[in-house]
Amino acid sequence: MAVNTEARFRILYLGSDLEFIKALREQLPKKYRLVTCSDSGSARLFLQSEIVYHLLLIDFDWKGLDGLEMSVIARPQQQRKRMPIILLIHASLRSDRKAQARRAEVDECIKKKDVTNVINAVRRMVEPL
C-alpha cells in the first residue's frame, strides 16, 4: 500500500528573507508546502491564479506598506476571500501601521523572529480548514 506523502496545505510566502525561509522549511511539518515569491510582479500572478493557497504570509520587511497591497489584491479574488493572511513583522507595529494592516484585511501580525510562533499560528489558522 502506497503512502500519500503529498503536502495537504500550500503556504505562499511573499518576502526575500532567506534565513527565515530556510528556518520555516526546516521546521514546517511535511504536510505543508512552502511556496516563496520575492518580486511583486510574480506575487500578483500567484495571487490572481487559480492555484490553491491555504495561507498567505507577507513579510513587512520585504516591501513595507507596499507589501500590504498584496492582501488588497488577494481579497477580492473569489478563491482568496477566506484565505488567512499573516503579516510578518520585525518589531511591534505603530498604531497607524496596525490600522493599515486591518484595512488590508490582514488576519494577524506576528513577529517573524520566533519561527515556532509563526508555525503555531499557521497551524491554528490552516488546519481547521
- What range defines the domain where residue 95 resides? 9-126
Q: Is the pTM of this model over 0.85?
A: yes
Listed in sequence order, the residues at least 6 apart from 13 whose beta carbon sits closer than 8 Å to its beta carbon are 21, 24, 34, 35, 36, 37, 57, 59
pLDDT band at 65 (very low <50, low <70, confident <90, very high): confident
Output 15 or 78, whichever has higher pLDDT: 15
Res 60 pLDDT > 70: yes
Q: Is residue 106 part of a domain?
A: yes
Residue 89 confidence (pLDDT) = 92
Q: Measured between alpha carbons, how far is residue 94 from residues 100, 101, 106 in Å?
A: 10, 11, 15
Quick check: is 16 in a domain?
yes
CATH number, residue 63? 3.40.50.2300
**Dihedrals φ, ψ of 117, to 5°?**
-65, -40
